[in-house]
Amino acid sequence: QTVVTQEPSLTVSPGGTVTLTCASSTGAVTSGYYPNWFQHKPGQAPRALIYSTNNIHSWTPARFSGSLLGGKAALTLSGVQPEDEAEYYCLLFYGDTWVFGGGTKLTVL
């Protein structure tokens, strides 16, 4: 069974920078896993942020960026805002199915 692992929780100060990562139990994450990133706040629908590693949607704030880092997919938030406090999920493609990571709870404090 494929497992996608994210940091359970991270804390960042307003205005700071934080990087969330996404690892695969099958080995290094490459562009062929087409990493997607989503933001999810309680009571709301998830919101797509990044697709295919580093492509932003038209609504994604410029402070969000995606990359590959040390064999993992990564989501970096630069100049964090209080409204960025949320759960963040990565999603990886495994040939015919998709698997979400367990999520990272980001606290802005």
Convert residues 7-46 into a mask of x (bound to another protein by CB under 8 A) and - (unbound): ---------------------------x-x-x-x----xx
Q: Contact between 102 and another protein (CB under 8 A)?
A: yes
Work out how close the CB of 55 gets to another protein at its nearest, in angstroms, rounded to a whole number: 8
The span from the CA of 22 to the CA of 101, in Å, is: 7
> 51, 36 in Cβ contact below 8 A?
yes
d(CA 52, CA 35): 5
DSSP run (H or E) holding 48: strand 47-51
Which residues form the interface with another protein (CB under 8 A)?
Answer: 1, 34, 36, 38, 40, 45-48, 51-52, 55, 57, 87, 89, 91, 93, 96-103
